Amino acid sequence: MHLAKFWFLLLCALLLHGCDQQSVQGNQSTRMERAHLVELHQVTEEAVKLDRVRTGTLRASVKYRVFIQEEGQIADFPWYPGDQVLQGDLLIALDDSLLRSQIARSRAELQRAERDLERVRSLSQRNLISTEELQRRETELEIARSELALLTTRLGFTRISAPFSGVVTERLSEPGNFAAKNTHLLTLIDPASLVIDVHLSEQVITHLQLGDKVSIVLDALGPQDFAGKVARIYPEIDPLTRRGQIEIQPDPVPAGALPGQLARVSLSASLQARMMIPFSALRYDQGEYVYLMNARQRIEKRQVVTGVRVSDRIEVLSGLEAGDQIVIRGFMGLAEGKTVQPVIPLTERET
């Protein structure tokens, strides 16, 4: 009886010991299962080179639209689109015969006023005429002079000369037509003044400076690269698109370049050291955030503000510090507060 009881107690003890071992192993297994495997990236500051290719349109920055300031019949208009003119060449002339007749009459009236004033002054010196009469004659002389000056100015408006050497792009009337005042008759451009208008995001435009070198490809002229530079940076950003405008000057202007052609501009700018992270680390949920591993190997959800993107990396303006460890792989099932186990990237294991 005592022997049977002994064997019964021994069997119970063995069973309890086995259960304890299984419990310990189960707890260890549970702890291992709770350690979520992730790949981490350490945040550092690094020098960045910003490369962008943007399209733009060639435009003549020097353009002269001829508006006639006098009315009359067009007498001389020899230029057509594509014609090259030299500085000083006569572009347009109106029939000025009526104005010349008016000028001749005005000169005669001026001479008469001068003679009348001379006679009145002689009489005034002998007190034979009133002071008021002398002043009236002086006023008439000034009016005659002003009238002649006005007609002479109007005569100058009937002839328009080229202010610079260039190419005619528009001809909007013909000889014999009557041109009213302020009518647009011709457009002249300087082909050496071609520039390219390019629009860039606010994050890129702030890193450019006047004189920065660029490379230009004009689709109409083939794949050849042409040199250029940033000639102007406009001081405003469009509040709707968050884009600004720059002006690129080809240096020199390529042969065959024409206003309206498509241009592809390659820009490059070296930025100061920036805090960059892999773009794949960014998550989105009511803003941008990343998963960060703290000192206890637990996950924190960290809101960030990002800047310019360069290839597969993006700048972080705020929210992280150098040395922070952020998750770049292993997002499936990852949540804030979860314990993680960093793994060595495959590329590092191979080396």
- Per-residue pLDDT tens over the stretch 64-82: 999 999 999 999 999 999 9
Determine, yes or no, domain membership for 8. Answer: no
Contact 188, 42 (CB under 8 A): no
Determine, yes or no, domain membership for 327. Answer: yes
| pLDDT classification of 131: cutoffs 50, 70, 90 | confident
Determine, yes or no, domain membership for 207. Answer: yes
Kindly tell me if the per-residue pLDDT of 167 is higher than 50. yes
Note whether 289 and 256 are same-domain residues.
no
Question: What single-letter amino acid sits at 270?
Answer: S
Determine, yes or no, domain membership for 306. Answer: yes
Contact 20, 14 (CB under 8 A): no
The domain total for the chain is 4
Residue 312 CA to residue 294 CA, distance in Å, equals 25
231 contact partners, CB below 8 Å, separation of at least 6 = 195, 210, 247, 248, 249
Note whether 151 and 207 are same-domain residues.
no
Note whether 346 and 289 are same-domain residues.
yes
Pick the most confident of 45-54, 117-126, 319-328: 319-328
CATH label of the domain that carries residue 75: 2.40.50.100
Averaged pLDDT, 163-188: 96
Determine, yes or no, domain membership for 304. Answer: yes
247, 271, 295 — which closes off a domain? 271
Determine, yes or no, domain membership for 184. Answer: yes
- Least reliable range by pLDDT among 16-20, 46-50, 93-97: 16-20
Kindly tell me if the per-residue pLDDT of 24 is higher than 60. no
Note whether 198 and 216 are same-domain residues.
yes
Determine, yes or no, domain membership for 247. Answer: yes
249, 271, 293 — which closes off a domain? 271
Question: What single-letter amino acid sits at 219?
Answer: D
The SS3 of residue 185 is: strand
Averaged pLDDT, 23-32: 47
- Structural domain containing residue 113: 96-157
Which structure tokens are listed for 160? 């328009």
- 36 forms bridges with which residues in the sheet? 340
Note whether 166 and 310 are same-domain residues.
no
Note whether 149 and 222 are same-domain residues.
no
pLDDT number for residue 30: 45
pLDDT number for residue 274: 80
CATH label of the domain that carries residue 118: 1.10.287
Note whether 77 and 175 are same-domain residues.
yes
pLDDT number for residue 219: 93
Compare 131 and 278 and report the one with higher pLDDT.
278
Compare 123 and 57 and report the one with higher pLDDT.
57
| pLDDT classification of 11: cutoffs 50, 70, 90 | low
Note whether 267 and 278 are same-domain residues.
no
Contact 211, 246 (CB under 8 A): no
| pLDDT classification of 157: cutoffs 50, 70, 90 | very high
Averaged pLDDT, 219-224: 93
pLDDT number for residue 29: 45
Neighbours of 44 (CB within 10 A): 12
Averaged pLDDT, 103-129: 88
Note whether 112 and 214 are same-domain residues.
no
| pLDDT classification of 26: cutoffs 50, 70, 90 | very low
CATH label of the domain that carries residue 212: 2.40.30.170
Share of the chain above pLDDT 70, in %: 88
Contact 324, 300 (CB under 8 A): no
Nearest to 214 by CA among 227, 199, 196: 227
Residue 208 CA to residue 203 CA, distance in Å, equals 10
pLDDT number for residue 48: 76
Kindly tell me if the per-residue pLDDT of 88 is higher than 90. yes
Note whether 146 and 130 are same-domain residues.
yes
Averaged pLDDT, 328-344: 89
Contact 289, 326 (CB under 8 A): no
pLDDT number for residue 109: 93
- Average pLDDT, whole number, for the chain? 87
236, 271, 306 — which closes off a domain? 271
| pLDDT classification of 268: cutoffs 50, 70, 90 | confident
Kindly tell me if the per-residue pLDDT of 13 is higher than 90. no
| Sheet strand arrangement including 178-179 | 159-161, 90-94, 72-76, 178-179
Averaged pLDDT, 76-91: 96
- Per-residue pLDDT tens over the stretch 31-43: 445 678 999 999 9
- Least reliable range by pLDDT among 35-49, 216-230, 242-256: 35-49
pLDDT number for residue 32: 47
Note whether 337 and 280 are same-domain residues.
yes
The whole model's pTM is what? 0.65
Determine, yes or no, domain membership for 19. Answer: no
Averaged pLDDT, 134-158: 93
Note whether 260 and 296 are same-domain residues.
no
Which structure tokens are listed for 119? 């006679």
Kindly tell me if the per-residue pLDDT of 7 is higher than 80. no
